[in-house]
Structure 1
Amino acid sequence: TYGGEVDDITFEGNSKVIILGAGTYRIGSSVEFDWCCVNTVFALKDNGVDEAIIINYNPETVSTDYDISDKLYFEELSFERVLDIYEKEKPLGVIVSVGGQIPNNIAPKLAKAGVKILGTAGEDIDRAEDRAKFSSLLEELGIPQPPWSKLTSLEEAKEFARMVGYPVLVRPSYVLSGAAMRVAYTEEQLEDFLVLASSVSREHPVVISKFIEGAREVEVDGVSDGESVLIGAVIEHVEDAGVHSGDATMSIPPFSLPEDVVKTIEDYTCKIALALRIKGPFNIQYLVKDGMVYVIECNLRASRSMPYVSKTTGVNLMEVAAQVMLGRKLKELNVKKPAYLPHVGVKVPQFSFMRLDGADPVLGVEMVSTGEVACLGDSLEEAFIKALLAAEFNVPLGGGNILVTVGGRRLKREITPIVKKLSDMGYSIYATEHTAEALVKAGIKNVNVVYKISEPQRKPNIRDLLLNRQVDLVINIPRTGTLEKYAEMLKDEYMIRRKAIEYNIPVVTNLKMAKAIVDALERIRKSGKKLSVKSLNEHLEALRNVEKHSISC
């Protein structure tokens, strides 16, 4: 304590390492980072560290359990407090890359104060976290990225948006879970979003970039020692870009990417990791459009997908990263990863919309999920359906009533083949007037017309169907338009989604997600197989018999 003159414990010993935890659970920071912290503690102890010291202040975590670390400081994760503890303990160094964004944010300050950062240096963390510096690095490496501009004035931002065309993405630096990140479709929205982004990123630059619509999103988790790179997995999102990676449904291995695109992603990953002199865990996010690969961002820390990657591939990335941060080389460790996977791993987000009054279950570039669950299966569709069920998304496997409502001609055209598959499988289709008209015109028979919640006098009404649990799944794809003439339509769509959430009826608000669910249902029905039940140990045992290869580059 600050007023004390005598210590209750001794501070002797040379082999100590401090690990900074993730702080309180909140949207964007959950148990995934705590898994990374705890596995780092275990790996440090297995590799000769006498004292693994945790600094964290969340009583709900495993990392703050009394029997995990050798010493626990239940203190705030601030620059001043960490510095106090560092000066008292005199450890070998501090690990800032396994506890999410808070430790990463204070790493440059700690480094300037003389704190020994184990792993990636504070200045290199800044080169990745600072959006402008990272974009400049990509230009030096000749790696494509969406057109971007560092915000210097509102007028320059508007001029940039006019030049590249809307929509544009507003991106603050040094934030977790896409805080204040927004897609602007109009100049008015751009003004509002720039003010918001500047307020959450006061010390660091705000960057605006062209938002590429209809692109696939891919990410890579890996570990580098500054000389070699281990790529843990290339992960493909089910949804198109525009959904935050923490809210996205993911697949290992990728399910739609051509082999040459995967090779390009691996090549870019190696170049970026080596250029940033990464020594520890990292995550890089990509866009793929028309065969071109673009870089979105790079996080020089453990990502929330690392537990998922580690368990799907059988290679504990935190165990590898801990040894690298202690100074060992990947070639020396001779880490082997499977050349291919005998199973598919799918990760699905968990949401708490029902507990948040008025929350709209539409997904965007700012994260809203509160957890996640991953499942392994013998096929993509099996792993996908199992993961949805595990996340309490009650997929109607045996048939049922599906409510479909979409706005705009383009969305109606795109939803039609999806609904036709449902109809052919025997599901009963309910749709609002204009959606039903488009479906019938496309040749889908027996579409039941239902009326808007805002028209309670017209029957049958959507509100009654939801209230009486007569709907098993809602597919409601909102339009992105912001014109005043759409205001009533947008409000009505929101009311449908919100009521479905309140009555615990699964809602799909993303076209790619709707297609993936329907395709999975179709394949499972055609195969006639039941969902397999295997333990994680059984899957890991199967991995032991798979051919292995060493580091990626």
Structure 2
Amino acid sequence: MTHTKTIVVLGSGPIRIGQGIEFDYASVQCVQALKKLGYEVAIINNNPETVSTDFDTADRLYFEPLTPVDVMNVLAVEKPLGVVVAFGGGTAIKLAKFLDSQGVRILGTSADAIDLAEDRERFEELCDRLSIKRPKGLTVFTEVEALEAAEKIGYPVLMRPSYVLGGQNMIIARNNADVKEYMKIILRGGIENPVLIDKYMEGKELEVDCISDGESVLIPGIMEHIERTGIHSGDSIAIYPGEFSAEIEEKIVRQSTDLALALGTKGLVNIQYLIYENDLYIIEANPRSSRTVPYLSKVSGLPMIDLATRAMLGEKLSQMGYGTGLYRKPPYFAAKVPVFSFEKLMDVDTHLGPEMKSTGEVLGIAATREEAIFKGMAAAGWKMIRPKKSEGETSPFGVLFSVRESDLPELPALAKKFYDLGFKLYATTGNAATIERSGMTVSHVAKVHENYNDNVMTLLESGRVVYVVSTSAKGRDPVAESVKLRRLAVERDIDCLTSIDTANALADCLASPYSLENTSLVDINHF
């Protein structure tokens, strides 16, 4: 079956944090699927480091920037049957509206449906119609509007520009000063799209990737994040399959199916949810390939991009041999753990938040959830250090705690895990008092302004600390002491955990019976 018809695929442009090899994987798989179906394929992408720009990937490669003018010039030459924007991340999807206005055929999900998912008011109307709950949110353009909105919704709030990828310029504002600081930075950049302000709800986060043909929806899996909401999905440890109550799971499947169909999705859609007080709320929906697709394709055994490409061209899931609803729960667990390059990025605060900072990821697969997380964390470069029990008080292995006030209620339980493992505990004044009240021995450490000669910094320099648990309410100010502490940990090659949830996951791994010598070897091809 050969077509003389050409399809143009848009890549994701130069790699940057939040957008990289995952979208290149999607573009290449899409090109291969289209060639298999007999189409000629031209790809537009200007990144020399990717497989999509290899000379033999597509029939023709246009090494051009992904801007409206350059893309239109290529389309004038190619005169394609249509353009694929769903596999090039945020860069490609942003061009959908413009291309549609120029009369270019967008294959798969329409430009209007893409806009429906991004436009705050339209999306809220859709969620109301489908009875899907979402955190309260407002749209603003000025600082005055932002302050009024934050007051109305109630702090803390999540602030972000619309149409962003990788959580760029996204923060959690806890007071008026944060809102003013944020709006100054954003307005200085000159915004065309509004700023979105949402109620920040701290709960369990999860995400779903769906494949839809417009009539039925296939859900390869539901991934659960170890870290609570507020940390970008690309920087979170994600477990597949997630563990949820039967009632919540049924709700996730039903709402995802309803939403994918209501958006008119043809191809992939990524939906992020949060569970707050045992109820399900939607965070956002992106009608495109997401960065979890390569990982989910591998561990679910489903050729997701191939199926999505065929669905874009009008083939039905039933014709491809798949029914609707939740695909299956595998008999194993997979943990996706992010990898960071902080030692190569000068002056960047290592504190994780809504803005993505990871530069890669690893995969741990095992028969149990605990072993999968252990494998993932070890592969991501976390040091799996355990003190010998006999060392007790004289243990050369220390853990330093310096967490923000709102995390103090959870500190004793976390500190006890390290204490029971035989670590020596160090903590700044407020943290130390909280730990002591729970009956553990802890060494008080001064902050720099409290004692210039003997403080948290000199402790890190001494080599007595192997883990630092540091969370801060802010973290955008490079001169803040907590930021300097985390930077010093990076320079001294000390593992620094900036989320209570990640620290708990690490402590649980250290308390588990697993070690680098006894983890099982898994052959993913023969599950």
TM-score (norm 1): 0.88
Alpha-carbon distance change, 100 to 390 in structure 1, aligned in 2, over 3 angstroms: same
Q: Secondary structure at the match of 2:51?
A: coil
The CA deviation string for residues 108-148 of structure 1, in whole angstroms up to 9 with x for no partner, is 11011111111111111111122332222212222111111
Alignment of 1:204-219 (within 5 A): 204-212=193-201, 214-219=202-207
Q: Secondary structure at the match of 1:332?
A: coil
Alignment-derived partner of residue 426 in structure 1: 422
Verify: 1:473 aligned to 2:460, yes or no.
Answer: no
1:358 is matched by which residue type in structure 2? Answer: D
Alignment-derived partner of residue 254 in structure 2: 267
CA apart distance, 1:201: 7.5
The CA deviation string for residues 70-124 of structure 1, in whole angstroms up to 9 with x for no partner, is 1111111111211121121122211000010011001111011111111111111
Task: Work out whether residues 406 and 412 of structure 1, in 8 Å CA contact, stay in contact via their aligned partners in 2.
Answer: no
Task: Work out whether residues 7 and 83 of structure 2, in 8 Å CA contact, stay in contact via their aligned partners in 1.
Answer: yes
Alignment-derived partner of residue 229 in structure 1: 217
- The root-mean-square deviation of aligned C-alpha atoms, in Å, is 2.5
Moved more, 421-430 or 201-210: 201-210
Among 12, 19, 31, the residue aligned to 1:29: 19
Alignment of 1:216-365 (within 5 A): 216-255=204-243, 257-335=244-322, 339-365=328-354
The runs of 5 or more residues in structure 2 that have no matched partner are 389-395
The CA deviation string for residues 137-186 of structure 1, in whole angstroms up to 9 with x for no partner, is 21222211111122255444333322221111223221111122222212
Cα distance in 1 for residues equivalent to 2:246 and 2:185? 40
Task: Work out whether residues 453 and 495 of structure 1, in 8 Å CA contact, stay in contact via their aligned partners in 2.
Answer: no
1:362 is matched by which residue type in structure 2? Answer: H
Q: Secondary structure at the match of 2:357?
A: coil
Q: Secondary structure at the match of 1:233?
A: strand
Alignment-derived partner of residue 447 in structure 2: 452
Q: Secondary structure at the match of 1:237?
A: strand
CA apart distance, 1:456: 6.0
CA apart distance, 1:258: 1.6
Cα distance in 2 for residues equivalent to 1:332 and 1:207? 41
Deviation beyond 6 Å, 4+ runs, structure 1: none
2:398 is matched by which residue type in structure 1? Answer: I
Cα distance in 1 for residues equivalent to 2:125 and 2:413? 43
Cα distance in 1 for residues equivalent to 2:335 and 2:133? 28
Among 402, 406, 429, the residue aligned to 1:406: 402
Verify: 1:203 aligned to 2:192, yes or no.
Answer: yes
CA apart distance, 1:275: 0.7
Cα distance in 2 for residues equivalent to 1:492 and 1:351? 21
CA apart distance, 1:189: 2.0
Q: Secondary structure at the match of 2:284?
A: strand
Alignment of 1:365-444 (within 5 A): 365-397=354-386, 401-407=397-403, 411-444=407-440
TM-score (norm 2): 0.92
Q: Secondary structure at the match of 2:308?
A: helix
Alpha-carbon distance change, 78 to 466 in structure 1, aligned in 2, over 3 angstroms: same
Cα distance in 2 for residues equivalent to 1:200 and 1:206? 12
Q: Secondary structure at the match of 2:512?
A: helix
Alignment-derived partner of residue 392 in structure 2: none
The CA deviation string for residues 309-330 of structure 1, in whole angstroms up to 9 with x for no partner, is 1111111211111111121111
Task: Work out whether residues 404 and 435 of structure 1, in 8 Å CA contact, stay in contact via their aligned partners in 2.
Answer: no
Alpha-carbon distance change, 202 to 462 in structure 1, aligned in 2, over 3 angstroms: closer
Cα distance in 2 for residues equivalent to 1:183 and 1:410? 14
The runs of 5 or more residues in structure 1 that have no matched partner are 1-11, 543-553
Alignment-derived partner of residue 516 in structure 1: 505
Percent identity, please. Answer: 37
CA apart distance, 1:35: 0.7
Moved more, 421-430 or 302-311: 421-430
Cα distance in 1 for residues equivalent to 2:70 and 2:473? 47
Task: Work out whether residues 407 and 477 of structure 1, in 8 Å CA contact, stay in contact via their aligned partners in 2.
Answer: yes
2:269 is matched by which residue type in structure 1? Answer: F
CA apart distance, 1:480: 5.3
Alignment-derived partner of residue 57 in structure 2: 68
CA apart distance, 1:199: 5.9
Verify: 1:148 aligned to 2:129, yes or no.
Answer: no
Alpha-carbon distance change, 453 to 389 in structure 1, aligned in 2, over 3 angstroms: farther
Task: Work out whether residues 402 and 428 of structure 1, in 8 Å CA contact, stay in contact via their aligned partners in 2.
Answer: yes
Cα distance in 1 for residues equivalent to 2:377 and 2:270? 25
1:35 is matched by which residue type in structure 2? Answer: Y
CA apart distance, 1:472: 1.6
Moved more, 132-141 or 197-206: 197-206
The CA deviation string for residues 244-291 of structure 1, in whole angstroms up to 9 with x for no partner, is 111111111113x22211211111111111111001111011111011
Alignment-derived partner of residue 483 in structure 2: 494
Task: Work out whether residues 221 and 327 of structure 2, in 8 Å CA contact, stay in contact via their aligned partners in 1.
Answer: no
Cα distance in 1 for residues equivalent to 2:14 and 2:387? 41
Cα distance in 2 for residues equivalent to 1:366 and 1:410? 20
2:27 is matched by which residue type in structure 1? Answer: C
Among 118, 123, 127, the residue aligned to 1:134: 123
CA apart distance, 1:215: 1.0
Cα distance in 1 for residues equivalent to 2:343 and 2:279? 39
Task: Work out whether residues 17 and 92 of structure 1, in 8 Å CA contact, stay in contact via their aligned partners in 2.
Answer: yes
Moved more, 117-126 or 191-200: 191-200
Among 492, 517, 524, the residue aligned to 1:503: 492
Task: Work out whether residues 217 and 288 of structure 1, in 8 Å CA contact, stay in contact via their aligned partners in 2.
Answer: yes
Q: Secondary structure at the match of 1:373?
A: strand
CA apart distance, 1:295: 1.0
Cα distance in 1 for residues equivalent to 2:130 and 2:270? 18
1:47 is matched by which residue type in structure 2? Answer: L
